[in-house]
Structure 1
């Protein structure tokens, strides 16, 4: 049941993101022919407005093997985790982050705007909660329309 809820929640989050991207795309005129992925990131020369797609990196943060019970330790790890999030957001590398609210094994997400999967991995692995083993990560390249925002 827990796996079903996690899968359902992840599906809902991704559906929301894809729905927003699709809604934004319907406002632009569709391109007349398909172009390779790299070419899709450039504006068409014909003047037609096609959505500019971009690769981001999504980190799924999962419950790790180390779950401290000492309140002071838990609070210290959480403060350091939040400071790390604020810093990478201030650096312009973190587009969005947030926890899942169902207290399951899937704890939260990071969406990075960085040059590579390796850079996203390094930023996530530098998180104090990941270093402590409280969180583990699953990282995926993810494409969305550039500039898409949640309402």
Structure 2
């Protein structure tokens, strides 16, 4: 019984000591959201990114769309490397993709699960096709002509996660 009294006292003091914060009103939240979106738009356009607003007809929400570049890594003309050459190229290829991700140039990369002509993709988050092409062509697999690059502009809602 004594333990129960101590527990009740502890809980009461804990509850009383908590600061009660006032939630911001809806107008303040919407205003801050608009300022953040305006700042993001300015930042993107200042860096040369192509963007536009899309209004969802059902929800009437305004969605910020940004142009990315999807690089298809396709089978190249030189696919006769030895196992040791291929292992070395693969390690260099993965290091290149990691560098693109770490430096913020690429958002996602991965191979396809079949043995088709298109071997994988990389999504470049850069302002121009020329920049995406230049970065993709730095890949050691591309330089060795084991892979070839085909790049297409791709519009995506900014900030939406993959599911």
TM-score (norm 2): 0.63
Displaced runs of 4 or more, over 2 A: none
Structure 1 gap segments, 5+ residues each: 1-36, 42-47
Q: Which residue of 1 aligns with 2:115?
A: 103
2:160 pairs with one of 122, 125, 148: 148
The number of aligned residues is 110
Q: Which residue of 2 aligns with 1:24?
A: none
Judging changes above 3 Å, is the alpha-carbon distance between structure 1 residues 145 and 39 closer, same or farther for their aligned structure 2 residues? closer
Structure 2 gap segments, 5+ residues each: 1-49, 55-59
Q: Which residue of 2 aligns with 1:130?
A: 142
Report the alpha carbon displacement of residue 143 of structure 1 after superposing the two structures with TM. 0.2
Q: Deviations over 1:75-117 (max 9, x none)?
A: 0000000000000100011011100010111100010100100
Instruction: Give secondary structure in 1 for the equivalent of 2:79.
Output: coil
Report the alpha carbon displacement of residue 38 of structure 1 after superposing the two structures with TM. 4.8
Judging changes above 3 Å, is the alpha-carbon distance between structure 1 residues 60 and 39 closer, same or farther for their aligned structure 2 residues? closer
Q: Which has the higher contact order (CA 8 A, sep 6+)?
A: 1
- 2: CA distance, partners of 1:39 / 1:75: 43
Judging changes above 3 Å, is the alpha-carbon distance between structure 1 residues 49 and 64 closer, same or farther for their aligned structure 2 residues? same
Instruction: Give secondary structure in 1 for the equivalent of 2:114.
Output: coil
Higher Rg: 2
- 1: CA distance, partners of 2:129 / 2:77: 24
TM-score (norm 1): 0.68
Report the alpha carbon displacement of residue 68 of structure 1 after superposing the two structures with TM. 2.6
Instruction: Give secondary structure in 2 for the equivalent of 1:51.
Output: strand
- 2: CA distance, partners of 1:101 / 1:68: 21
Instruction: Give secondary structure in 1 for the equivalent of 2:132.
Output: helix
Matched, 1:61 2:60: no
1:40 pairs with one of 53, 57, 61: 53
